[in-house]
Amino acid sequence: MRQYIIIIISVIISVISCKKESYYGNSDVKLSFSTDTIFFDTVFTSVGSVTKQLKVYNNNDGNILISSIRLGKGTSSNYRLNINGINSSSANNIELEKGDSLYIFIEVTVDPQNTNTPYVVADSIVFSINANNQDIDLRSWGQEANYIDGRYSSAIIKDTVWTNIKPFLIYNSMMVDTGQTLVIEEGTQIFLHKNSSIYVMGTLIIKGTKDNPVIIRGDRLEPAYDDVPGQWSRLVFVNPSKNNIIDYAEIKGGIIGVQVGGNIESSSKPDLKITNTKIEHMNYSCLYTIGSTVLASNCVFADAGFYPVALLMGGNYEFYHSTIANYWAYATRTEPSLVITNNLTSNNSMYVSDLTNAYFGNCIIYGTMEDELGLSNDAAAEFNYKFENCIVRNSSLDFSDNSIYLNVWKDMNPNFINYSNYNWELDTMSNAENKGNIDIVNSYPYLPLIITDLNDYDRTTDGNPDLGAYERQY
Strand ranges inside 315-385, DSSP E: 315-320, 323-326, 338-341, 343-346, 349-352, 355-361, 364-367, 373-376
For position 88, what pLDDT does the model report? Answer: 84
For position 11, what pLDDT does the model report? Answer: 44
Q: Is the pLDDT of residue 423 over 90?
A: yes
- pTM across the whole model: 0.80
Cα gap 446→377, rounded to integer Å:
29
Q: What share of the chain has pLDDT > 90, as a percent?
A: 72
Cα gap 295→284, rounded to integer Å:
21
For position 353, what pLDDT does the model report? Answer: 95
For position 268, what pLDDT does the model report? Answer: 81
CATH of domain 32-141: 2.60.40.2310
Direct distance between the N- and C-terminal alpha carbons of the chain, in angstroms, rounded to an integer = 102
Residue type, 250: E
User: Which residue in 342, 204, 221, 336 sits closest to 277, CA to CA?
Assistant: 204
pLDDT winner (highest mean) among 111-120, 143-152, 460-469:
460-469
Mean pLDDT value across the chain: 90
- Which distant-in-sequence residues (6+ apart) come within 8 Å of 264 by Cβ? 290, 291, 313, 344, 346, 351
For position 113, what pLDDT does the model report? Answer: 67
Count of beta carbons in the 10 Å neighbourhood of residue 165: 10
Q: Do 238 and 276 meet the contact criterion of CB atoms below 8 Å apart?
A: no
Judged by average pLDDT, the poorest of 80-84, 221-225, 468-472 is 221-225
Count of beta carbons in the 10 Å neighbourhood of residue 438: 16
Cα gap 20→285, rounded to integer Å:
53
Instruction: Using alpha carbons, list the distances in angstroms from residue 348 to 66, 262, 267, 345, 353.
Output: 47, 17, 20, 6, 17
Q: Is the pLDDT of residue 16 over 80?
A: no
How much is the average pLDDT of 105-124? 79
How much is the average pLDDT of 97-112? 89
Q: Do 406 and 435 meet the contact criterion of CB atoms below 8 Å apart?
A: no
For position 223, what pLDDT does the model report? Answer: 80
- Which distant-in-sequence residues (6+ apart) come within 8 Å of 431 by Cβ? 391, 409, 412, 413, 414, 415
Cα gap 248→188, rounded to integer Å:
11
Residue 289 belongs to what H/E stretch? strand 285-290
Q: Do 193 and 247 meet the contact criterion of CB atoms below 8 Å apart?
A: no
Residue 8 belongs to what H/E stretch? helix 2-20
Q: Is the pLDDT of residue 347 over 90?
A: no
What would the pLDDT profile of 142-169 be if each residue is shown by its tens digit?
777 888 989 889 999 999 999 999 889 8
User: Which residue in 341, 342, 280, 345 sits closest to 308, CA to CA?
Assistant: 280
Count of beta carbons in the 10 Å neighbourhood of residue 293: 20
What is the four-CA torsion angle of 291, 292, 295, 296, rounded to 10 degrees?
A: -70
Q: What is the largest CA-CA distance in the chain?
A: 112
Count of beta carbons in the 10 Å neighbourhood of residue 224: 7
Residue type, 261: G
Cα gap 452→260, rounded to integer Å:
26
Residue type, 243: N
Strands 343-346 and 349-352 turn out to be antiparallel
What would the pLDDT profile of 46-59 be if each residue is shown by its tens digit?
555 678 899 999 99
For position 89, what pLDDT does the model report? Answer: 85
Q: Is the pLDDT of residue 43 over 50?
A: no
Count of beta carbons in the 10 Å neighbourhood of residue 17: 10
